């Protein structure tokens, strides 16, 4: 499933970065983010997205949202959560160009639930881009495995579940590690 931002440019040029949502952009919860009130940005994350936008990056979110499939919230609530995120981003001059989500539970046989690469494959097709080397930022091993499956660059942030992911190891060997999304943006823009 995909939601395009109304302000999304319809160009096939430029750079692309793919972000997980919970634990990367906003605080995560073991009980899921089930309402707009529960969605709270991690300090510096919205500004990091804005900096990436202004440097020519298209920012795409790819997120597992099994709370939909579990009946913990409905589609209208997910849309309201994302509207809050879009509004908060616009207040700092940032935007999400497209938002891809998997609504399925862990026991489904879908191809879109990370660590399976279906969402990233669709992102590559929709944007007409080869994902080899494209930065993909996540806080869980499944985010990193998904990135590796399409030869994108897995980036682990230590926000969200990132500290636990780092301790447990077992992520792709070419994973790059940063404290949070703000540090990712700084590193990418320094190398630009």
- CATH number reported for the structural domain that contains residue 76 in this entry: 3.40.50.1000
- Considering the candidates 20, 139, 143, 180, report the single residue annotated as catalytic: 20
Q: What is the pTM of this model?
A: 0.92
Q: What is the DSSP letter of 42?
A: P
Can you tell me the distance from the alpha carbon of 133 to that of 117, in angstroms, rounded to the nearest whole number? 15
Of the candidates 184, 134, 136, the residue with the CA atom closest to the CA atom of residue 159: 184
Which carries the bigger pLDDT value, residue 6 or residue 14? 14
Do the Cβ atoms of 133 and 154 come closer than 8 Å?
A: no
The most distant pair of C-alpha atoms in the chain lies apart, rounded to whole Å, by: 43
Give the closest residue to 102 by CA, choosing from 111, 118, 116, 113: 113
Tell me the residue range of the domain where 18 lies: 2-190
31 by Cβ neighbours in 10 Å (0-12 / 13-18 / 19+) ranks as exposed
Q: Is 20 one of the catalytic residues? A: yes
pLDDT in tens, 125-172: 999 999 999 999 999 999 999 999 999 999 999 999 999 999 999 999
Q: DSSP letter for 55, please.
A: T
- What gap in Å lies between CA 48 and CA 88, rounded to an integer? 13
Is 94 in contact with 47 (CB distance < 8 Å)? yes
What's the confidence (pLDDT) of residue 191?
77
Q: What is the pLDDT of residues 44-82, one digit of tens each?
A: 999 999 999 999 999 999 999 999 999 999 999 999 999
Active-site residue flag, 28: no
Q: Give the C-alpha distances (Å, rounded to integers) separating 131 from 83, 148, 149, 158.
A: 27, 10, 10, 23
Domain count, the chain: 1
Per residue in 10-28, pLDDT tens? 333 469 999 999 999 999 9
Is the CB of residue 133 less than 8 Å from the CB of residue 115? no
């Amino acid at each position: 499933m995909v939601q395009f931002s109304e302000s999304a440019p319809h160009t096939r040029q430029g750079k692309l970065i793919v972000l997980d949502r919970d634990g990367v952009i906003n605080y995560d919860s073991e009980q899921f983010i089930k309402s707009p009130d529960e969605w709270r940005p991690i300090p510096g994350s919205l500004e990091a997205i804005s900096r990436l936008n202004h440097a020519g990056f298209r920012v795409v979110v790819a997120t597992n949202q099994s709370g939909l499939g579990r009946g913990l919230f409905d589609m209208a609530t997910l849309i309201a959560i994302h509207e809050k995120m879009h509004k908060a981003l616009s207040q700092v001059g940032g935007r999400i160009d497209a938002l891809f989500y998997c609504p399925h539970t862990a026991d489904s046989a879908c191809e879109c639930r990370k660590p399976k690469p279906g969402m990233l494959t669709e992102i590559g097709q929709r944007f007409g881009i080869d994902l080899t080397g494209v930065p993909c930022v996540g806080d869980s091993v499944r985010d990193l495995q998904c990135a590796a499956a399409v030869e994108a660059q897995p980036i682990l942030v230590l926000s969200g579940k990132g500290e636990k992911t780092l301790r447990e190891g077992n992520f792709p060997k070419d994973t790059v590690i940063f404290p949070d999304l703000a540090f990712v943006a700084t590193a990418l823009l320094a190398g630009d």
